[in-house]
Copies of this chain bind each other. A is one copy, B any other.
Amino acid sequence: MKNLLVIQSGGPTAVINSSLAGVIKGGFERSDKTGKVFGGLFGIEGVEQEKIVSLEKFKEDGLLDLLKQTPSSYLGSCRKKLPDPQEDKAFFENIFGILKKYDIGYFFCIGGNDSMDTVNKMSRYAKEVGSDVVVVGVPKTIDNDLNLTDHTPGFGSAAKFILNSMRQLKKDTEVYQVPSVVILEAMGRNAGWLAASAALANDSTMNACDVVCLPEVAFDVDAFLGKVDNVAKKQGSVMVCVSEGIRDKDGKYIMENEGILKRKNDKFGHAALGGVGQTLRDMVARNLGLKARSIELSTLQRCWSSGASLCDVTEAYGAGRMAVEYACQGLGGVVPGFKRLSDEPYKMEIVPYDVTEIANVEKKIPSSMISSDGFGVTEEFIKYAKPLACGEPELKYRDGQIQFAPKVW
């Protein structure tokens, strides 16, 4: 009877704690195989520092429900890139020594692209040294850029925040008789899933998203201005959603061209972005003479659990539980992912994917989901993305405040 240890890693999402709740619940349910449920604080760094806490208190009524509506990593996170197990054995010896001390047999890491690299290396090391620790990943990322899986927990809720921002901002912008352009800046470095999801704001009664600018399409200033101008002439106000990571045909970030922001890269070598919405706003105002406003959703889009998608919450929870199932079956080095069975009605099943095929690969929007002019999405994208934003969870509030799980340590 081995214990279970779960960590969270990478950037927050609205449902990363739903997956945590799933792992905890899974641990409680499989008490035939598992002992105590522990959490490591601040990702793998916390394990290194032996910041390990009991999560047994979540057996109390209602606490897991509160955890499911708590955004961001309840256990804390880190952005540490693990060394190669071949090159730095000492790092892994230390980690696995701590796992042994707590009698851990099942290790879970809930995270995105970079965190799957952690799962991969931990799993490889375990195999190499013949450890009986089973390492399983649980996918999360608002960016939806994980390989193999149909989609990733966290995306649906972020997409929903963006689409409902577009809808409500459209109402806000059409109140005056003066035509105006609203430019919403969404996250997404290399994959434009989030910016594209703004197109889910449209329905038969209103155009709440007229233009999307995606990193998958080389950004051309003249084409963009022409598109905005056309829409403005036709209907007055123009709603734009731009991905933070758009680049020109030479692969240069648009902001770099404009010389507005030059920030340092992060530990994984990703450029720090943000501010492209302002660049586009100035472009529109200067060249088209239209009233323009840019809004950067910033971190709100990844922590807005008060507007989460029920589909997303349910699936994130399901992936967490299934991860425990896999671990109990001795299936290490895998990640529960989603395989779509049908769009309408939406049906999917959770299947184990090999983490080596997920780690360090970024899934971009296929060209079949992007409209021919590059400033919109096709029906295929809508069919794909719509079900992921559906459903509203019942949330607990007190005095107008969304309620969160209290610290149990």
Contacts and interface: CB of A to CB of B under 8 A. Distances in A.
Interface string A273-293: 000000000000000000001
B12 A299 contact: no
Contact of A391 (B79, B300, B391, B400): B400
A398 to B, nearest CB: 8
B306 A164 contact: yes
Nearest to A299: B172
Interface stretch (A20-28, A67-75, A370-378): A67-75
Interface string A223-259: 0000000000000000000000000000000000000
A82 interface: no
A398 B200 CA distance: 11
A399 B307 CA distance: 13
Contacts of A71: 168, 171-172
Contact of A174 (B76, B177, B205): B76
A175 interface: yes
Interface in A381-409: 386, 389-392, 395, 397-402, 404, 406-407
B164 A401 contact: yes
Contacts of A404: 167, 171, 205-206
A402 B169 CA distance: 12
B200 A401 contact: yes
A176 interface: yes
A169 B300 contact: yes
A45 B175 CA distance: 12
Interface in A283-341: 293, 295-296, 298-300, 302-307, 309
A210 to B, nearest CB: 16
B168 A201 contact: no
A398 B391 CA distance: 8
A180 to B, nearest CB: 11
Contacts of A147: none
Contact of A386 (B171, B302, B391, B399): B399
A172 B401 contact: no
Contacts of A402: 164, 167-168
Contact of A177 (B45, B169, B206, B300): B45
Contacts of A160: 400
A5 interface: no
A15 interface: no
Contact of A309 (B8, B76, B400): B400
Nearest to A45: B177
A397 B311 CA distance: 14
A172 B12 contact: yes
A67 B177 CA distance: 21
A78 interface: yes
A172 B295 CA distance: 19
A307 B169 CA distance: 14
23 contacts: A12-B172, A12-B175, A70-B171, A72-B168, A76-B174, A76-B177, A78-B176, A167-B401, A168-B304, A168-B305, A169-B300, A172-B303, A173-B299, A200-B399, A200-B401, A201-B401, A205-B406, A205-B407, A293-B298, A306-B307, A309-B400, A389-B400, A391-B400
10 smallest CB-CB distances across A and B, nearest first, come from A389-B400, A172-B303, A72-B171, A77-B175, A168-B303, A73-B175, A72-B172, A295-B298, A390-B400, A172-B299
Interface of A: 8, 12, 42, 45, 70-73, 76-79, 160, 163-165, 167-169, 171-177, 200-201, 203, 205-206, 293, 295-296, 298-300, 302-307, 309, 386, 389-392, 395, 397-402, 404, 406-407
Given A168-B305, A309-B400, 5 more contacts: A168-B300, A171-B404, A205-B406, A295-B296, A296-B296
